[in-house]
Amino acid sequence: MAIHWFPFFKLEKCAHCGKCISACPHHLLFQKQDDNDPNLFVPKITDPQLCPVNCSKCAGSCAYGVIGIIRPAKPCDCCSF
């Protein structure tokens, strides 16, 4: 199954506050230890295929513009947006 909607993270902007994780009503985000700095924890998504189309609560919760949403270039057969 193709993934048609999911968040991506610009981690260089991340304040590591965890608000995006708390904002996800589907509990798909978690904090993972940063590969470059073991003292920092960064947001990760458990399974992008489970992220509901048109939900962007995580992105809306971030004051730092860390989270963007990947959308298809054109609507597909399974989407109606």
pLDDT digits 0-9 by tens, 18-28: 999 999 999 99
In a domain, 52, yes or no: yes
pTM, whole model, 2 decimals?
Answer: 0.76
In a domain, 48, yes or no: yes
Domain of residue 66: give its range.
6-70
Say how many domains are in the chain.
Answer: 1
CB burial readout 35-68, b (16+ within 10 A) else e: eeeeeebbbebeeeeebeeebbbbbebbeeebbe
In a domain, 63, yes or no: yes
For position 60, which CATH number holds? 3.30.70.20
pLDDT tens digit sequence for 44-54: 999 888 888 88
**Residues in a beta bridge with 69:** 7
